[in-house]
Amino acid sequence: MHLCRNFNKVKSKSGHIVRLVLVLTASVFFNYCANQVSPGGGPTDIIPPEVVKCDPPNFSTTFAKRRIQLTFNEFVELKQANQQIIVSPPMKNQPDYRLSGKSLIIDLNEELIPLTTYSIFFGNAIADITEGNPLKDFLYVFSTGNYIDSLSVAGEVLNAFTLNPEEEVFVMLYSLNNDTVSADSLPVLMRPLYVSKSDKEGRFRLQYLKNEPMKLFALRDLNSNYLFDLPEEEIAFVDKIVVPEIPLIFEPDTTDTEPDSLVYSNLYQDYYALKLFQHIDSTQRLIASEAFYPPGFRLVFKYPVDSLSLKLMNFTDDDDWKVEEWNATRDSLRVWLKMADRDSLSVQISLSDTIFDTVQLIIPEKPDIRSERQRRRSNQDESPERLKVFTNVKARLLNPKESLILIFEHPLTSFDGSQITIFAGQDTLKGVLFDADSKSNRSYSLKMDLEEENSYVFIIPDSAFFNLYGQTNDSLRIVFSIKPIAEFGNLFINLQAKDEFFPLIIQLLDGREAIVHELYFTTSAEIRFDLLTPATYTLKAIHDQWTNKRWDTGNYWNKRQPEDVLICPIEFQIRSNWDVTETWLIE
């Protein structure tokens, strides 16, 4: 420090030498330090920015400004301001947001409503510029009147079918004090008076509300205009009039924290569960049509089809030109043509004897999925393409009480089971009976009792099956055994509910919420789920109000809520060789 302070005062000719020595010494010193100690990064910054000043101050009254300035303790960035920042009541003209130094400037672009409390909810729009730590859910509140409105409404937004929480959904309150729009048309024609968003737990809270009755909605707003104006948008509504209230428990006057979920639901006498659904369109539609090879096509409808007829418009057909196969829910139809020389089709579709649609289809060419070596071999050997056969055997195992099923790519015209040889343990059988599972003759089930822990070998000779296109099978050997029953568990449920809850669709779900079993009940009953694979299961009940044996979504215009869904609060852990018995009381 002494040398640095007096360095410029050196007057002798040796001054340049002194400077050179000092520079070389410093260079050696710093290189020595660098070689000895690796630089460290230090702890990661996880602290969000803080608001250190608001101009005008937060919770100001008699507010008459057109500009708001928020100053932070560090430099910040603004992310998706128009999507994240919510102003209540909403403004016709979005405010302008810009950064200046460590401050966020908000310019209001319209006259404010007199005697009104406004809130600006920032979501995750503000984050520090270095690590991107967001200032979560900061709220700036002001009033154009003499006081801040202090009432609030809270609840949660859930998926109507799964009951899972729905995040990032607008929750909106509408005033009933208007003479221009009916209450039914409010979410379609008017912007809400107050708006908030659900969090990752589906929870919401609308604060600083007036003391007046209102209508409450939730909206998955796809075009961010606060209006229910797109058919794909999801909506939820509360049937009754909502009256804002004072929380049951005193809360500190703060804007940067939220209570946990337990306290959140207990803060209010009325805690609203909004069940989000996509508005029903009852019009039957053809969703998709596609052709495939060998000649055929598939039709997919929006709703199940009761009665359908098809007519070829570009060919003379008869009653025996096709084979049909419906899926289990009768909303998808696969059709194989019996004539293999068609390259295009014009098909007229009639529903209940009424012409519904006409589709034009181009039959694709046969795909060639062979390798080059296979193609060369095929050119030398013009053997016909063979019929592929699949089974429900997995890893050479079948479950107890499960039948062997043979599945074919295309419908069969003949099935000869008399030449099939079966080796069952020490026994040998010749010939076996299979029954077709559907009118399409594409899957066949074995009509024979299979014994637990026994091993089976099925020998199917060449040309036992023929399909529509003259293809036949190669010889086939199927080897499998039956799993021991002791590897499975059983679940017994005593279902009890009042008469008004019936009929009920009961679904047993696995860990991925896929349906394992589905049953239908019109009264309380003992339910058995036998031979379950060890895993964790849940139960879902659907009140089939419309008695069509499926869950029905809601209809806002008819003021119809989605059919009620209940999830059993108990998870069932099924273990090998173990029975689980529980009572499910629905009330």
pLDDT of residue 283: 85
- Same domain assignment for residues 265 and 291: no
- Look at residue 299 and tell me if it is in a domain: yes
Domain boundary pick from 452, 483, 514: 483
- Look at residue 369 and tell me if it is in a domain: no
Judge contact between 562 and 568, C-beta under 8 A: no
pLDDT of residue 255: 45
Summarize the confidence of residues 166-181 as an average pLDDT. 88
- Per the prediction, the chain carries an average pLDDT of 86
CATH of the domain at 565: 2.60.40.10
- Look at residue 540 and tell me if it is in a domain: yes
Tokens in use for 394? 């997995």
- Same domain assignment for residues 253 and 156: yes
- Same domain assignment for residues 352 and 250: no
- Same domain assignment for residues 266 and 292: no
Judge contact between 29 and 41, C-beta under 8 A: no
pLDDT at 192 over 60: yes
pLDDT digits (tens, 9 = 90+) for 54-102: 999 999 999 999 999 999 999 999 998 887 888 988 888 989 999 999 9
Max Cα–Cα distance, the chain, nearest Å: 119
How far is 138 from 135, CA to CA, in rounded Å? Answer: 7
Q: Which among 183, 188, 178, 186 is positioned nearest to 229, based on CA atoms?
A: 188
How far is 311 from 318, CA to CA, in rounded Å? Answer: 9
pLDDT at 158 over 50: yes
Confidence of residue 372 (pLDDT cuts 50, 70, 90): low
Tokens in use for 187? 């979410």
- Same domain assignment for residues 353 and 388: no
Tally of residues, the chain: 587
pLDDT of residue 38: 41
pLDDT of residue 314: 81
Helix (H, G, I), strand (E, B) or coil at 19: helix
- Same domain assignment for residues 579 and 498: yes
- Look at residue 533 and tell me if it is in a domain: yes
Summarize the confidence of residues 171-192 as an average pLDDT. 86
pLDDT at 108 over 50: yes
Q: Which pTM value belongs to this model?
A: 0.76
pLDDT at 33 over 80: no
Summarize the confidence of residues 376-383 as an average pLDDT. 56
Phi, psi of 111 (to 5 degrees): -70, 140
Domain boundary pick from 278, 298, 329: 278
- Same domain assignment for residues 553 and 506: yes
Q: Give 512 or 86, the one with higher predicted confidence.
A: 512
Judge contact between 113 and 166, C-beta under 8 A: no
- Same domain assignment for residues 242 and 156: yes
* Strands across the sheet containing 96-100: 51-55, 67-72, 103-107, 96-100
Summarize the confidence of residues 352-378 as an average pLDDT. 77
pLDDT digits (tens, 9 = 90+) for 536-570: 999 999 999 999 899 999 999 889 999 999 999 99
DSSP state of 87: E
pLDDT at 4 over 70: no
Domain boundary pick from 454, 483, 512: 483
CATH of the domain at 341: 2.60.40
Instruction: Tell me what percent of the residues of the chain surpass a pLDDT of 70.
Output: 86
- Look at residue 6 and tell me if it is in a domain: no
pLDDT at 26 over 50: no
Tokens in use for 143? 């009033």
Summarize the confidence of residues 223-227 as an average pLDDT. 84
Q: Give 182 or 475, the one with higher predicted confidence.
A: 475
* Strands across the sheet containing 443-446: 389-391, 405-408, 443-446, 434-436
Instruction: Calculate the CA 94 to chain-centre distance.
Output: 31
pLDDT of residue 36: 42
pLDDT at 112 over 70: yes
pLDDT digits (tens, 9 = 90+) for 121-145: 888 899 999 888 999 878 999 999 9
What's the number of domains the chain is made of?
A: 5
Which amino acid is located at 184 in the chain? D
Half-sphere exposure (CA, 13 Å, Cβ side) for 24?
A: 6
Range in 214-228, 286-300, 305-319, 505-519 with the lowest mean pLDDT:
305-319
- Same domain assignment for residues 173 and 67: no
Instruction: Tell me what percent of the residues of the chain surpass a pLDDT of 90.
Output: 61
pLDDT of residue 15: 39
- Same domain assignment for residues 199 and 213: yes
- Look at residue 17 and tell me if it is in a domain: no
The CA–CA distances, whole Å, from 542 to 329, 384, 511, 515 equal 17, 52, 19, 13
- Look at residue 12 and tell me if it is in a domain: no
- Same domain assignment for residues 395 and 413: yes
pLDDT at 104 over 90: yes
pLDDT at 369 over 60: no
Summarize the confidence of residues 486-512 as an average pLDDT. 96
How far is 164 from 540, CA to CA, in rounded Å? Answer: 13
Summarize the confidence of residues 454-459 as an average pLDDT. 92
Q: Give 227 or 372, the one with higher predicted confidence.
A: 227
pLDDT at 356 over 70: yes
- Look at residue 370 and tell me if it is in a domain: no
- Domain of residue 95 covers 51-143
- Same domain assignment for residues 157 and 274: yes
CATH of the domain at 398: 2.60.40.3780
Range in 48-62, 379-393, 523-537 with the lowest mean pLDDT:
379-393
How far is 412 from 415, CA to CA, in rounded Å? Answer: 7
Summarize the confidence of residues 344-369 as an average pLDDT. 88
Judge contact between 95 and 107, C-beta under 8 A: yes
Judge contact between 119 and 141, C-beta under 8 A: yes
Confidence of residue 224 (pLDDT cuts 50, 70, 90): confident
pLDDT at 19 over 80: no
pLDDT digits (tens, 9 = 90+) for 405-456: 999 999 999 998 888 999 998 889 888 889 998 889 999 999 988 988 789 9
**Of all residues in the chain, what percent are helix, strand and coil, respectively (each to 5)?**
10, 40, 50
Torsion sign across C-alpha atoms 240, 245, 247, 252: positive
